[in-house]
Structure 1
Protein backbone atom coordinates (compact mmCIF):
# COMPACT_ATOMS: atom_id res chain seq x y z
CA UNK A 1 0.00 0.00 0.00
CA UNK A 2 1.22 3.52 -0.70
CA UNK A 3 2.17 5.56 2.37
CA UNK A 4 -0.23 8.39 1.46
CA UNK A 5 -3.17 5.91 1.62
CA UNK A 6 -2.39 4.86 5.20
CA UNK A 7 -3.81 6.86 8.08
CA UNK A 8 -4.05 6.43 11.87
CA UNK A 9 -7.26 4.77 12.96
CA UNK A 10 -7.70 2.55 9.94
CA UNK A 11 -7.77 -1.24 10.11
CA UNK A 12 -5.55 -2.96 7.57
CA UNK A 13 -4.41 -6.36 6.41
CA UNK A 14 -0.77 -7.43 6.74
CA UNK A 15 0.98 -10.71 5.98
CA UNK A 16 0.52 -11.62 9.66
CA UNK A 17 -3.18 -10.75 9.80
CA UNK A 18 -5.38 -7.80 10.73
CA UNK A 19 -3.90 -4.73 12.43
CA UNK A 20 -4.93 -1.26 13.62
CA UNK A 21 -2.80 1.70 12.49
CA UNK A 22 -1.55 3.80 15.43
CA UNK A 23 0.96 6.14 13.73
CA UNK A 24 2.30 6.84 10.25
CA UNK A 25 5.79 8.23 9.60
CA UNK A 26 5.59 9.38 5.99
CA UNK A 27 9.21 10.51 5.87
CA UNK A 28 10.70 7.12 6.78
CA UNK A 29 7.78 5.09 5.31
CA UNK A 30 7.16 3.34 8.64
CA UNK A 31 3.84 2.47 10.25
CA UNK A 32 3.19 1.62 13.91
CA UNK A 33 0.56 -1.12 14.16
CA UNK A 34 -1.34 -2.91 16.89
CA UNK A 35 -2.05 -6.47 15.77
CA UNK A 36 -5.10 -8.29 17.10
CA UNK A 37 -3.11 -11.16 18.60
CA UNK A 38 -0.25 -9.13 20.14
CA UNK A 39 -0.09 -6.80 23.13
CA UNK A 40 2.95 -4.79 22.02
CA UNK A 41 2.69 -2.48 18.96
CA UNK A 42 4.99 -3.30 16.05
CA UNK A 43 6.65 -1.08 13.45
CA UNK A 44 6.55 -2.18 9.80
CA UNK A 45 7.40 -0.67 6.43
CA UNK A 46 4.40 0.69 4.55
CA UNK A 47 4.87 -1.87 1.75
CA UNK A 48 4.22 -4.66 4.32
CA UNK A 49 0.60 -3.48 4.49
CA UNK A 50 -1.44 -5.35 1.89
CA UNK A 51 -4.54 -3.16 1.99
CA UNK A 52 -7.35 -1.66 4.03
CA UNK A 53 -10.14 -3.74 5.54
CA UNK A 54 -13.46 -3.09 3.78
CA UNK A 55 -15.77 -0.68 5.54
CA UNK A 56 -12.92 1.27 7.10
Structure 2
Protein backbone atom coordinates (compact mmCIF):
# COMPACT_ATOMS: atom_id res chain seq x y z
CA UNK A 1 0.00 0.00 0.00
CA UNK A 2 2.85 2.36 0.75
CA UNK A 3 4.33 1.95 -2.73
CA UNK A 4 0.92 2.80 -4.19
CA UNK A 5 0.77 5.92 -2.01
CA UNK A 6 4.23 6.91 -3.24
CA UNK A 7 3.11 6.49 -6.85
CA UNK A 8 0.03 8.64 -6.24
CA UNK A 9 2.24 11.24 -4.57
CA UNK A 10 4.55 11.38 -7.60
CA UNK A 11 1.55 11.73 -9.91
CA UNK A 12 0.20 14.66 -7.88
CA UNK A 13 -2.82 12.71 -6.60
CA UNK A 14 -2.52 14.03 -3.06
CA UNK A 15 -5.89 12.77 -1.79
CA UNK A 16 -5.27 9.21 -2.99
CA UNK A 17 -1.72 9.34 -1.65
CA UNK A 18 -2.97 10.39 1.79
CA UNK A 19 -5.57 7.59 1.83
CA UNK A 20 -2.91 5.08 0.86
CA UNK A 21 -0.65 6.21 3.69
CA UNK A 22 -3.47 5.82 6.19
CA UNK A 23 -4.26 2.34 4.95
CA UNK A 24 -0.57 1.38 4.94
CA UNK A 25 -0.50 1.75 8.72
CA UNK A 26 2.54 2.04 10.98
CA UNK A 27 4.29 5.39 11.16
CA UNK A 28 2.94 6.69 7.85
CA UNK A 29 -0.66 6.72 9.08
CA UNK A 30 -0.10 10.02 10.90
CA UNK A 31 1.47 11.54 7.77
CA UNK A 32 -1.59 10.50 5.76
CA UNK A 33 -3.90 12.11 8.29
CA UNK A 34 -1.85 15.29 8.25
CA UNK A 35 -1.96 15.34 4.45
CA UNK A 36 -5.75 15.07 4.48
CA UNK A 37 -5.93 17.92 6.98
CA UNK A 38 -3.61 19.93 4.77
CA UNK A 39 -6.08 19.47 1.93
CA UNK A 40 -8.81 20.86 4.17
CA UNK A 41 -10.48 17.48 4.70
CA UNK A 42 -11.42 15.68 7.88
CA UNK A 43 -8.89 13.01 8.86
CA UNK A 44 -9.89 9.37 8.52
CA UNK A 45 -8.76 6.34 10.45
CA UNK A 46 -7.63 2.99 9.14
CA UNK A 47 -10.20 0.23 9.31
CA UNK A 48 -9.76 -2.03 12.31
CA UNK A 49 -9.77 -5.22 10.28
CA UNK A 50 -6.48 -4.51 8.49
TM-score interval for Structure 1 and Structure 2 normalised by the shorter chain: under 0.3
User: Which fold has the larger relative contact order, with Cα–Cα distance below 8 Å and residues 6 or more apart in sequence?
Assistant: 1
TM-score, L = length of structure 2: 0.22
Between Structure 1 and Structure 2, the one with more strand by share is 1
TM-score by length of 1: 0.21
Greater share of helix = 2
